[in-house]
Each structure stands twice: as structure tokens, then as C-alpha cells.
């Protein structure tokens, strides 16, 4: 008994010592990664820049590596609208299958020159001597600088793209190559970092052998890009759920042409007579992708309804092509509203825990645009409780209350806000809430009592009226 009592503190201190030793050894030997092979494809064909990166990584250290870091210069990281990663997980019927990986921003204390990082969490830590193949897609906005900054109606739009020919990385890269795809073969100039090759619409930087961590080599590519630089400065989408069978969507757009500014006067005659040469970087049509079974579509601006829109619908989607009152040149803006109704049963469901939920698409229905600031307001029916939104990426959320005619307590509005939204953000999100069917009666009751009061008022009025005539 006595010896047991004395033995306990000794075991305890031994345990502590062991824990201390193992934790300190873990800190001192952080995982060592090297990249065996890196291939980067930069797609500059639109104004939304997509970069596809394939990395073959190897753990050359002794401890398992739970994550892989991606490095970005501080000026670039704010323009990254989206970053996704997946790992090759073996082959099935000659096709490689992939598993999505978690990606999160990460701060490192001794980052050289303010480098910013994203950490890709591996499904299982990469053991010593093991390799893995990771595919990364990241999307950058506002990364093409028009040069010249101002062009006239007859000129084509040229832009600068800046990057590094050698991939910025905290790891040694044994072999790497970068391909840059431009929208046309008209490339005015590009920085050479030998070996560099240019063929048609593609530039090839590399292969470069064995570059130490944090190597870089700035390059500028100056090329023609007459794509529609359509940016929605602000988009507010209001989705109103009515349990009477309808989903009413109202969208307020503030669109700007974010390309080279238009200089000189605008000639509509020249624009219409030589459409292939005049205003090539301008746009006069906008395409919206809407759900199928859309009805009661309207399109108006502050002057009134605009009739120049075409709606095409089939079983899977609807496409609405709209034409603003004037074509948009660099720096020009257009503000308009689109509204439409949708059948509720396509979007409102019941969850297993007896709650209801709306399943709708995030992002913008406008094709290939960047949205600087997106606000989605989901207006729930009166009497809805405990709303919660499920969005597969980070958004700002808060609740508001909206009153419309016949409302007694007001409707709960779930507000979701996100900056720098790209087409890849057009994914489904859900808003869950509870609802007691008794509230369905609130509106008819209000309506009935309003009519009743009105009726009583009429009776009283007529009664008084008659009494006067007497």
C-alpha cells in the first residue's frame, strides 16, 4: 500500500517527461516536403483568371506531413476569389478518381516578404518517403490591367498580366513548367525566362529544374483580350418564399464594363454598320441562366420596362438574353432589375427532422461575370422560426425583418453577403427553418378581417349618408 503511494508520483513525472520530450521533438522536426513535379496552366481567355496547378509532392522528412502549403505574394492573395484542391485517389476503370481536400488560409510567423499561405489538409498524413498528387484550382479576379488604359471605339483592348515564371513555393521544386493560354494569338510582348516558347495562343515557361524554396522570377504578358469585362459592382437578390406555391425572385444589378476606358465620342452609326471592327471590347447583350419553369419574367431599369429580352426555356434550364438600352464600353455602367417567379415545389423541401428548407443556387445568374458584392436575402413566410443557412464556403450572415401588406409580425429575412464572387460560386445552398401550419391562416384571416372592417365601414358610411339624405 505504502510503496504504491510512493510509486505514483514517479510514474506521473516520468509520463510528463515523456510527453515533454515527444512534444519538443515534434516541434523541432517539422515535416520536410519537396515537390517532384509541378505543372501550372494559367487560363487568360476571360477576365476571370483560372489557374490549374498539379503538384506531385514527396515527404523527404522523418515525420508525417498532415498538410501541404501554397504560397502567394501579399498583393495577389486578395484577388484570389476561390481556391479548391483535390487529391488523386487511385484509378477506377482507367480514370483517376479524386477526393476534395480542405483548404484554409494559414499564417506563418517567419513568412519571407509577407508571403501568404493556404494550407491543404491531406486526408491522411503523408508518411516519410511517400508521394501524393494534388490538383489545385484557384481563380483570380481584377488581375488584368488594361494598357493603354483608354481606347477609342475602333481600337482593340490590350491588357497586362503579371505573375512569376517560377512558381512561388515554400518547398524545393525539382521540376516545373507553366503554360499561359491567351484568348488570341495577338501577344504584343512577354518576358522571357529561358527556356520560354511561344506558339499561337500558348506561352510555355520552363521546364525549370531544381529551384530552391521561395524562388521567383517576375514576368509580364501584354496581349489582346476583347472579352466582355462584365463586373457586377453590386447584386442584391431577394428570394421570397410564399407557402401559397410561389417563389418570387427580384434581382437588382449594377453592371460596369471594367476594361479599358472608352475615349472620344460614341458613334452608333459606326457601331452598327461595322460590328466586327467597332467596339470589339464592348458588350450589348447579357445572358442570364435561370432555373427551368421560370414564369412572369420582367426586365426594367429606372426609365421603365425594357422589351428587348429573349427567353428560351427547356426542361433543364432557362436562358434569358437581355439587351441594355445602350452597349457598354469601358467604364460605362448599367443598372437594372430582373424579376421572375418559380414553382415552390422545385425548391422547398422537408428535412428529416421536420424542418423545411429552401435549396437554391448561390452566386449570380449572369454568365461569366465577377460580382464585387453579392447580397442574397431569403424572405421566409411569416411565422417561420429558427432559420439557419448552410453555404459550402464562408459568407457573412445576419437576420432582418421585412414587413409587407397583411403582415402581422413581419417576415424573417436571412441575409447572406459575399465579396468577390465568381461563376464557380454558383452552387446550391440551403436555408432551414421551422414553420407551424397554423400561420398559413394568418394571411386569409387578415384578409377576411380587413374585408369585414371595410364592409363595416361601408355600412356605417352608407348608414350615415342615408340618414343625412333623410
Ligand X SMILES: *[C@@H]1O[C@H](CO)[C@@H](O)[C@H](O)[C@H]1NC(C)=O
Which positions touch ligand X (CB under 6 A)?
Answer: 112-113, 214, 298, 300, 304-305, 359, 428, 430
For 279-345, give the DSSP string: STT-B--EEEEE-TT-EEEEEE-SS-B---EEEEE-SS-EEEEE--SS-B-TT-EEEEEEEEEEEGG
**Nearest to ligand X of 351, 401 (CB atom):** 351
Least distance to ligand X, CB of residue 167, Å = 13
Minimum separation from the CB atom of position 113 to ligand X (A): 4
Q: CA–CA separation, 378 vs 234, rounded Å?
A: 17
Residue entry with cell 432582418:
400
- Residue 73 beta carbon to ligand X: minimum distance, rounded to whole angstroms: 9
Pairwise CA distance, residues 213 & 172, whole Å? 5
* DSSP symbols for 335-379: EEEEEEEEEGGGTEEE-TTS-EEEEEE-S-SBTT-EEEEEEEEEE
**Which residue's CB is nearer to ligand X, number 207 or number 292?**
292
Q: How far is the CB of 213 from ligand X (least distance, A)?
A: 8
Which one, 3 or 113, has the nearer CB to ligand X? 113
CA-closest candidate to residue 384, choices 342, 345, 440:
440
Name the residue nearer to ligand X (CB basis): 330 or 365.
Answer: 365
* Nearest-approach distance from CB 297 to ligand X, in angstroms: 8
We find the least distance from the C-beta atom of residue 216 to ligand X, in angstroms, to be 6
Contacts 24+ apart (CB under 8 A), 448-451: 450/406
Min separation Cβ 307 and ligand X, Å: 9
Least separation in angstroms between residue 304's CB and ligand X is 5
Q: How far is CA 314 from CA 2, 318, 343, in A?
A: 86, 6, 15
Q: Which of helix, strand or coil describes residue 9?
A: helix
- How many whole angstroms separate alpha carbon 178 and alpha carbon 162? 14
Q: How far is the CB of 176 from ligand X (least distance, A)?
A: 17
Q: Tell which residue, 359, 364, 402, 362, has the closest CA to residue 382.
A: 402
- Considering the complex, state which of residue 23 and residue 113 has its C-beta at the smaller distance from ligand X: 113
From residue 5, give the alpha-carbon distance in Å to each of 13, 15, 17, 18, 111. Answer: 14, 16, 20, 21, 50
Q: Smallest gap, in angstroms, from Cβ of residue 321 to ligand X?
A: 17
Handedness of CA 289, 295, 301, 303 (dihedral sign): positive
Identify the H or E element spanning 248.
strand 246-257
CB of 84 to ligand X, least distance (A): 18
Residue number with CB closer to ligand X (113 or 467):
113
Nearest residue (CB) to ligand X, 269 versus 303: 303
Q: Which is nearer to ligand X, 52 or 117 (CB)?
A: 117
Comparison of 390 and 448: residue with beta carbon closer to ligand X: 390
Of the pair 114, 437, the CB lying nearest ligand X is at: 114
Q: Rg (Cα) of the chain, in Å, rounded? A: 30
User: Cα 170 vs. chain centroid, distance in angstroms?
Assistant: 27
Contact criterion met (CB below 8 Å) for 342 and 294: yes
Pick 115 or 225: Cβ nearer ligand X: 115
Amino acid at each position: 500500500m505504502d510503496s504504491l503511494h510512493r510509486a505514483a508520483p514517479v510514474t506521473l513525472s516520468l509520463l510528463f517527461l515523456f510527453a515533454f520530450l515527444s512534444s519538443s521533438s515534434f516541434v523541432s522536426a517539422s515535416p520536410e516536403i519537396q515537390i517532384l513535379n509541378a505543372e501550372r496552366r494559367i487560363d487568360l481567355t476571360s477576365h476571370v483568371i483560372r489557374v490549374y496547378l498539379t503538384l506531385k509532392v514527396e515527404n523527404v522528412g522523418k515525420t508525417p506531413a498532415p498538410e501541404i502549403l501554397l504560397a502567394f505574394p501579399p498583393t495577389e492573395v486578395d484577388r484570389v476569389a476561390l481556391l479548391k484542391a483535390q487529391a488523386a485517389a487511385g484509378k477506377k476503370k482507367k480514370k483517376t478518381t479524386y477526393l476534395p481536400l480542405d483548404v484554409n488560409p494559414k499564417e506563418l510567423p517567419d513568412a519571407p516578404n509577407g508571403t501568404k499561405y493556404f494550407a491543404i489538409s491531406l486526408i491522411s498524413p503523408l508518411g516519410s518517403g511517400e508521394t501524393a498528387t494534388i490538383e489545385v484550382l484557384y481563380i483570380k479576379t481584377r488581375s488584368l490591367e488594361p494598357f493603354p488604359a483608354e481606347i477609342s471605339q475602333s481600337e482593340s483592348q490590350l491588357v497586362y498580366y503579371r505573375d512569376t515564371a517560377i512558381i512561388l513555393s515554400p518547398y524545393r521544386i525539382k521540376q516545373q513548367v507553366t503554360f499561359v493560354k491567351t484568348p488570341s494569338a495577338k501577344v504584343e510582348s512577354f518576358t522571357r525566362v529561358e527556356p520560354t516558347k511561344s506558339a499561337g495562343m500558348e506561352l510555355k515557361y520552363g521546364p525549370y529544374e531544381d529551384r530552391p524554396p521561395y524562388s521567383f522570377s517576375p514576368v509580364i504578358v501584354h496581349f489582346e483580350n476583347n472579352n466582355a469585362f462584365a463586373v457586377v459592382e453590386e447584386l442584391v437578390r431577394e428570394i421570397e418564399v410564399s407557402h401559397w406555391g410561389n417563389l418570387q425572385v427580384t434581382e437588382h444589378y449594377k453592371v460596369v464594363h471594367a476594361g479599358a476606358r472608352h475615349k472620344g465620342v460614341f458613334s452608333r452609326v459606326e457601331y452598327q454598320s461595322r460590328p466586327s471592327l467597332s467596339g470589339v471590347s464592348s458588350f450589348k447583350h447579357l445572358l442570364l441562366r435561370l432555373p427551368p419553369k421560370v414564369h412572369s419574367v420582367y426586365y426594367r431599369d429606372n426609365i421603365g420596362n425594357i422589351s428587348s429580352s429573349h427567353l428560351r426555356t427547356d426542361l433543364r434550364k432557362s436562358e434569358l438574353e437581355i439587351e441594355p438600352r445602350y452597349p457598354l464600353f469601358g467604364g460605362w455602367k448599367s443598372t437594372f432589375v430582373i424579376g421572375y417567379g418559380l414553382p415552390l415545389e422545385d425548391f422547398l423541401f422537408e428535412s428529416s427532422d421536420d424542418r423545411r428548407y429552401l435549396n437554391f443556387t448561390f452566386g449570380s445568374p449572369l454568365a461569366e461575370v465577377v460580382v464585387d458584392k453579392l447580397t442574397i436575402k431569403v424572405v421566409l413566410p411569416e411565422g417561420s422560426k429558427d432559420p439557419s443557412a448552410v453555404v459550402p464556403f464562408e459568407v457573412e450572415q445576419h437576420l432582418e425583418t421585412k414587413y409587407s401588406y397583411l403582415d402581422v409580425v413581419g417576415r424573417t429575412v436571412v441575409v447572406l453577403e459575399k465579396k468577390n464572387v465568381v461563376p464557380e460560386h454558383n452552387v446550391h445552398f440551403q436555408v432551414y427553418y421551422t414553420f407551424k401550419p397554423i400561420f398559413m391562416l394568418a394571411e386569409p384571416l387578415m384578409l377576411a378581417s380587413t374585408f369585414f372592417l371595410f364592409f363595416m365601414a361601408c355600412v356605417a358610411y352608407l348608414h350615415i349618408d342615408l340618414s343625412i339624405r333623410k
